[in-house]
């Protein structure tokens, strides 16, 4: 069994801007497990544990699902929380730009994976997870940093040209993500 998810990669230049923002938000904050730089991505669909012999067929289904799509633009926005700021569990950066198009791609992928037993996502919100909050309740240091966040010095916009199928190995030092396959739009 291998743990899989489908994601949009963040280009290196944008990743540097996001990392700088994450580091500002993390200053003096305890109780948050921050996402490592190399693990930053936009999840389109989490598949979970999948038998090895199904990976190739899943890849073919995703390839067919994204075939008719074209490259599109996204932009990284301001921080927010799941489920809400009163009792946050996840801190993330909002995604702007052609999000409806990205969500349409996610729906197409969902439809292609139904024959494999995957349920379509009921709610999908594009976001860039920065950290998982370990301590329950209000975190005043984190809230202050979010309130003081002034945005990005340069507009963090980027072009999305593909979807990546990743495997995720959970280790004691954090997850290790490895690209299994890439699905280029109009390919």
Active site residues: 41, 127
Comparing C-alpha atoms, which of 47, 34, 25, 38 is closest to residue 142? 25
How far is 63 from 59, CA to CA, in rounded Å?
A: 6
| The two three-digit tokens of residue 78, written as one number | 């301001």
| The two three-digit tokens of residue 26, written as one number | 């993390």
Comparing C-alpha atoms, which of 40, 51, 46 is closest to residue 2? 51
**58 contacts 109 by C-beta, under 8 angstroms:** no
Per the listing, tokens 């349409």 go with 104
How far is 164 from 180, CA to CA, in rounded Å?
A: 8
């Amino acid at each position: 069994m291998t743990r899989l998810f489908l994601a949009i990669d963040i280009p290196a230049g944008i990743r540097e801007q996001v990392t700088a923002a994450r580091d500002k938000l993390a200053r003096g904050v305890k109780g948050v497990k921050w996402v490592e730089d190399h693990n930053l991505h936009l999840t389109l669909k989490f598949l979970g544990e999948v038998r090895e012999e199904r990976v190739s067929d899943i890849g073919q289904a995703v390839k067919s699902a994204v075939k008719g799509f074209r490259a599109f633009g996204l932009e990284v926005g301001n921080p927010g929380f799941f489920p809400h700021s009163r009792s946050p569990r996840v801190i993330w950066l909002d995604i702007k730009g052609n999000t409806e198009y990205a969500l349409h791609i996610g729906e197409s992928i969902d439809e292609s994976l139904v024959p494999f037993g995957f349920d379509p996502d009921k709610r999908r919100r594009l976001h860039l997870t920065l950290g998982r909050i370990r301590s329950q309740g209000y975190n005043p240091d984190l809230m202050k940093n979010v309130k003081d966040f002034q945005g990005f010095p340069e507009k963090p916009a980027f072009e999305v040209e593909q979807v990546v199928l990743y495997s995720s190995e959970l280790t004691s030092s954090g997850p290790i993500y490895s690209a299994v396959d890439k699905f280029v739009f109009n390919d």
